[in-house]
Amino acid sequence: MVDLDVSDFFKHKLARIKPDYVFRQSQVALSQAIEKTITQQSVLIAEAGTGTGKTWAYLVPAFMSFRKTLISTGTKALQDQLFRKDVPMLKKALGLPIQVALLKGRSNYLCHFHYNRLVNDDYTQLNSKEEVEQLKEIKLFFQKTTTGDKSDCAKVPDKAPIWLKVTSTNESCLNQDCPYINECFLAQARTKAREADVVIVNHALFFADMALRKEAQIDLLPIADTVIFDEAHQLPEIATQFLGSQIALSSIEEVVKDIELYTAMYAKRVAEWSKLCGRVTHDLMDLRLTARPIDSMPGKKAILERIPDNERLIAVLEKVVQGIDELHKTLEAVNEQHLDLKEVYNRLNAYYGRLLQWIYPEKFDQDNQDSYVRWVEYGKHQLRLYRAPLSVKNVANFKREDQAWILTSATLSVNHQFTHFQAQLGLFDAECQTWESPFQYAEKAVMYVPDHLPDVKVPHYEQDFVRLLIPFIQRTPGGVLILSTTLRSVESLGVLLQEALLREGIHKRIFRQGETAHRVLIDQFQQEKNGILIGSASFWEGVDFPGDLVTLVAIDKLPFAPPDDPVLEARIEECRKKGGNPFMDIQLPMAAIALKQGAGRLIRTEQDSGVLIIGDGRLVNQRYSKLLWGSLPNFYRTRHFDTALNFWRENR
Ligand code: SF4
């Protein structure tokens, strides 16, 4: 550590570079606890209420420690914000020679090999005029970028399919055989990360790295002395996703097509490629037909054990694997003849391995054969096979003895207890502490749980809920955020609300999730200033509407995760088998965290005020209710319509 006191820094230095900075003792206390954890190389689970200033509370001791630090964020947007805004400011304030690097997953970097192949292919791989225009933009970007980070190519949307053609995957990267290895943007970003003192990554990359280390493959991230996880409440879900795997049938179809193309060009006489490829393509079609019953199952997905005639499905999959095995062996003999052959061989090899792992888990998970859930999703043009761990408590084993871990977020505890979060990640010995939000919730906001709405399950519940909202929508001085639990309710609430607004002559615009891209919808809503935004899952967290952008948040139902989610379904089953109570042990804590996130959308700054309406009576009338409302900030609480409605009269 350098000879500079954390407390002095917040008291004297920060105000000089951040004119809007407000000194808070709780921020200093949090920062000191993080500093101690870094020195002791222990684990701290730090819940820091909104407004505590947790970002600077961890950045300052991390920078002052002079130890190699990984900072992992929940989203790429937060990663960029840290790197571009907070870090330069802090470096200036501290005046320390600290190297900071930004590292994202490989799909974020333009790949020289795939880019050049696409450009040299005379546009034959492009699917539309739009892609032709986008490729022109990417060409301009390629000429001037020094990092290859696609988020700097603003004219091509982040999710545009063309990015898949000019970026690499683990399977399609040629690594040391690549002719562009010396210019490779990804390789350069990784080198910078190895050399830097502080590296800013995201949770997805962190767990992708852990998964590769587990399989004793390459390391994506440097070894660090300190790891700080921001938005740590997302870790269990992201770990589940990245410590599992998925295979899209279309990826196999695509590689088989490419094999036909490149073998015709470079290894024509070696084998009957059309026959070998044709067999795999035929078996894949057969697989799709066999999986058809899943199309009529809830959510068009099913755990393997629930798929009708799953033995036949496995038999067809085995046939697919036999065909791939034959193709794989034949291709192995020629893959060194040309880079394109090598690239398709690597891809096929990876899918082959993943399929084997999916079909024969007992051969790969010898220690614990029941520890994964396998399921299949049936889409219009797509069939996907998934595999995910039933538990991610082995995440704790990724911590090295000589490492410090800090996990922070505004939503980690359930009714002031951290046991659920600790158990999820296996961090039983961690020190857990809460730093309350400095916001005056009891004076600035009211939480209203109506006493006259019917049970959420009755058919007219949504009509009654919308009717209740109308006077609040009329009176609220700013925007309205309605949080729902499913896309179906977003749709139905939107229709009911539109009718009600027309009837009452209220001129407010409704923005519904799914109308347009997430980011665009948020921008439009913000520009409108007093619109009504209706969203489900992705709007419960990570959206920030300070001031009058949102002065009314309304939640129709408690956010219990749908039990048709295959991982949740399997975890519930597993919990029951072990004699546990899945509702109390899994579903309720998850709902409490999600509710806390949703309710947290109302007050984002010290000046904010507003009303939170939760229509679902289960928040107060069930034996488990206290676990839910006890987890929420200290809002002024009422069940009386007039008290809630008069809030604005009395407070503005
Ligand atoms: S090394 Fe991999 S990511 Fe880099 S240019 Fe080559 S193929 Fe692309």
Interval 488-529: pLDDT, tens: 999 999 999 999 999 999 999 999 998 887 878 899 999 999
- What is this model's ipTM? 0.99
Q: How far is the CA of 267 from the centre of ligand 1 (A)?
A: 23
Identify the pLDDT of residue 4.
67
Architecture of domain 6-99+196-239+393-435: 3-Layer(aba) Sandwich (3.40)
Identify the pLDDT of residue 368.
56
**Apex 184 CA angle, 143 and 109, nearest 5:** 75
Identify the pLDDT of residue 2.
54
Which ranges constitute the DSSP H helices of 557-617?
566-577, 582, 588-599
Q: What are phi and psi of 176, to 5 degrees?
A: -65, -20
Identify the pLDDT of residue 213.
73
Identify the pLDDT of residue 158.
83
Provide CB contacts within 8 A for 522, sequence distance 6+: 533, 543
Q: What are the residue boundaries of the structural domains of the chain, listed by start?
A: 6-99+196-239+393-435, 106-185, 245-389, 441-651
Distance, CA of 416 to CA of 204 (rounded, Å): 28
Nearest residue CA, atom 1 of ligand 1? 175
Identify the pLDDT of residue 561.
87
Instruction: Report whether residue 590 contacts ligand 1, using a CB cutoff of 6 Å.
Output: no
Write the CATH number of the domain with boundaries 245-389. Answer: 1.20.120
Identify the pLDDT of residue 120.
87
Q: Which of 147, 149, 150, 173 to probe ligand 1 with, by most ligand atoms within 8 A of CB?
A: 173
Instruction: Report whether residue 173 contacts ligand 1, using a CB cutoff of 6 Å.
Output: yes
Distance, CA of 361 to CA of 554 (rounded, Å): 45
Identify the pLDDT of residue 214.
67
Distance, CA of 131 to CA of 162 (rounded, Å): 6
Identify the pLDDT of residue 287.
94
6-99+196-239+393-435 matches 245-389 in fold: no
Tell me which residue has tokens 């499905």: 313
Which burial class, exposed, middle or buried, applies to 562 when counting CB atoms under 10 A from its CB (0-12, 13-18, 19+)? exposed
Identify the pLDDT of residue 216.
56
pLDDT digits (tens, 9 = 90+) for 80-96: 889 988 899 888 888 88
Tokens describing residue 403: 């490492």
The fold of 441-651 is Rossmann fold (3.40.50)
Identify the pLDDT of residue 151.
87
Distance, CA of 70 to CA of 87 (rounded, Å): 13
Instruction: Report whether residue 196 contacts ligand 1, using a CB cutoff of 6 Å.
Output: no
Give me the average pLDDT of each 10-residue run along the chain (652 residues).
75 80 91 97 96 94 94 89 90 87 94 93 78 93 94 86 92 90 95 94 91 69 93 95 91 94 87 92 95 90 92 96 95 91 93 93 65 91 91 91 96 95 96 95 96 94 97 96 94 97 96 85 92 92 92 97 87 93 95 96 94 97 95 96 90 60
Spatial CA neighbour of 477 closest among 614, 598, 651, 615: 651
